[in-house]
Amino acid sequence: MWARASSPVRPPDESPICLSIRERQQNSTARARTLAPTLERLNMTLHKLLSYFLLIAGTASVLPGQTQPVQLMTQIGLPFRFVAYGDTRFTDPKNTDASNPVVRQMLVQAIADAHPAFISIGGDIAYRGDDVNDWKIWDKETAVWRDKKIPVHPALGNHDLFGDQRVALANYFQRFPDIRTNRYYSVRAANTLLLVLDSSLDETSGPQGEWLAHELDKLPADVDFVGLVLHHPPYTDSTDQTVGGGHSARTPEQALAQALEERQPHTRARFVVIAGHVHNYERHEHSGVTYFVTGGGGAHPYFITRQPGDPLFGKAVNYHYLLVEVDRGKMKITMERVELADGKATWSTPDAVEIVAPVAIPVKAGK
């Protein structure tokens, strides 16, 4: 007969061995729990560093220039409206020397309430381009635009390129992915074409100049208005010597103005130049081209000597934005000015102009 099976007898040293294994497993689990937060933080840090490295690496390839500027197409019809302004200098609200945070935020909300099809910002968006904290203030204060799904089409200003340019451009392009690391590009909106320029590069020569000339040479027949958006103005009554701060017009932008004024008589579409850099408002007209300086987005104001008859004569500080209303063959541009007195905002529209595109290029007498 088979002997009755009995419970297996463990070797005398097996229990201590199993106990040791269990202790080791328990100790390992405890150590893992202790190290988990540290490992998680390390993993997040490595992930952020890798992402930032890839962003910087991608941005580095566009620093010298670009060969394929993107053309953004907006699906809107006539009539439509958009907003243009600049020199916001988003930064810590405690820094009231660089920018007026109350006005800056008031303008952002007013623009949102205007329900524009898009917003064009002519540079100096952040106070220091390579400071991510300044861009975080942008993220926070302009959240209302993203909530309302209002696109923003930016131009680079000198403050946006402040400091380490690779870091500054990485911060900039991260906020505006639609332009795909393009420093200059175009936007088509119904009968209007915006050519957004980088005035840290020459506008009339080199890759940007060649691209601009090509765009102007092949304007579609249904374009009534060409808006050229850049940071540095071709015309301004400000000077580098102005007490309290100011800027003179530079030679490259003066060359751009000359080129546009030579083209305008032979072009049906009207040229409208929208610039900033000077923290005030100006409007100039030369040889059929209309020029705006719209640098009243919140940066500390620059003063301009104005002559009697100027709609802003006697008004030194001019925080504002431009409301651009576009219809078939006409564009109306209105300065929306805000003034703070005793904490109360007063809005006014001291200047406005309507620009009309002719049906055909005017023929000179005798031709």
Q: Residue 10 falls within a domain, yes or no?
A: no
Q: Is the pLDDT of residue 300 over 80?
A: yes
Cα–Cα distance measured from residue 166 to residue 47, given in angstroms and rounded to the nearest whole number: 19
Percent helix, strand, coil in the chain, to 5, is: 35, 25, 45
Residue where a domain stops, chosen among 40, 61, 82: 61
Same domain, 121 and 144: yes
Confidence of residue 58 (pLDDT cuts 50, 70, 90): very low
Q: Identity (one letter) of the amino acid at 33?
A: R
Select the more confidently predicted residue: 11 or 364: 364
Confidence of residue 67 (pLDDT cuts 50, 70, 90): low
CB distance 83 to 321 below 8 Å: yes
Look-up of token digits 């639609």: 178
pLDDT value at position 342? 86
Cα–Cα distance measured from residue 218 to residue 188, given in angstroms and rounded to the nearest whole number: 14
CB distance 150 to 183 below 8 Å: no
Burial 234-260 (b: 16+ CB within 10 A, else e): bbbbbeeebeeebbebbebbebbbebb
Confidence of residue 245 (pLDDT cuts 50, 70, 90): confident
Mean pLDDT calculated for residue range 276-303 = 97
Same domain, 108 and 254: yes
CB distance 118 to 150 below 8 Å: yes
What CATH number does the domain containing 170 carry?
Answer: 3.60.21.10
Q: Residue 361 falls within a domain, yes or no?
A: no
Same domain, 166 and 148: yes
% of the chain surpassing 70 pLDDT: 80
Same domain, 21 and 84: no
Mean pLDDT calculated for residue range 165-174 = 98
What tokens appear for 315 in the block?
A: 């008004």
> Residue 238: which H helix or E strand, with range?
none
What tokens appear for 113 in the block?
A: 């309430």
CB distance 327 to 78 below 8 Å: yes
CB distance 333 to 324 below 8 Å: yes
pLDDT value at position 356? 98
Same domain, 188 and 299: yes
Taking all residues of the chain, what is their mean pLDDT, rounded to a whole number? 86
pLDDT value at position 156? 98
Same domain, 162 and 306: yes
Mean pLDDT calculated for residue range 54-58 = 45
Mean pLDDT calculated for residue range 324-343 = 96
Secondary structure (3-state) at 135: helix
Confidence of residue 150 (pLDDT cuts 50, 70, 90): very high
Among the residue ranges 145-159, 254-268, 350-364, the one predicted with the least confidence is 350-364
Cα–Cα distance measured from residue 232 to residue 130, given in angstroms and rounded to the nearest whole number: 20
Strands 152-154 and 119-121: parallel
| Residues in Cβ contact with 295 at an 8 Å cutoff, skipping those fewer than 6 apart | 86, 87, 122, 124, 275, 276, 277, 278, 279, 280, 281, 302
Same domain, 100 and 38: no
Residue where a domain stops, chosen among 29, 61, 93: 61
Same domain, 93 and 27: no
Distances (CA, A) of 40 to 51, 124, 209, 350, 354: 16, 37, 49, 57, 59
Q: Residue 3 falls within a domain, yes or no?
A: no
Q: Residue 116 falls within a domain, yes or no?
A: yes
Write the pLDDT tens digit of every residue in 247-287.
Answer: 999 999 999 999 999 999 999 999 999 999 999 999 999 99
Write the pLDDT tens digit of every residue in 180-230.
Answer: 999 999 999 999 999 999 999 999 999 999 999 999 999 999 999 999 999
pLDDT value at position 93? 98
pTM for the predicted model, two decimal places = 0.82
Structural domain of 54? 15-61
Q: Is the pLDDT of residue 3 over 80?
A: no
Same domain, 46 and 157: no
Same domain, 147 and 179: yes
pLDDT value at position 6? 39
Q: Residue 261 falls within a domain, yes or no?
A: yes
Cα angle 102-105-111, degrees, rounded to a multiple of 5: 135
pLDDT value at position 52? 44
Q: Residue 363 falls within a domain, yes or no?
A: no
Confidence of residue 241 (pLDDT cuts 50, 70, 90): confident
Cα–Cα distance measured from residue 5 to residue 234, given in angstroms and rounded to the nearest whole number: 103
Residue where a domain stops, chosen among 29, 44, 61: 61
Same domain, 19 and 159: no
Mean pLDDT calculated for residue range 285-313 = 95
Q: Residue 290 falls within a domain, yes or no?
A: yes
DSSP 30-42: HHHHHHHHHHHHH
Same domain, 111 and 176: yes
Write the pLDDT tens digit of every residue in 4-44.
Answer: 333 343 333 333 434 444 554 555 555 545 555 554 454 44
Domain count for the chain:
2
Write the pLDDT tens digit of every residue in 107-143.
Answer: 999 999 999 999 999 999 999 999 999 999 999 999 9
What tokens appear for 143 in the block?
A: 């959240």
Q: Is the pLDDT of residue 299 over 90?
A: yes
Q: Identity (one letter) of the amino acid at 195?
A: L
Q: Residue 43 falls within a domain, yes or no?
A: yes
Query: Considering only CA atoms, which of 154, 103, 119 is closest in space to residue 299?
Result: 103
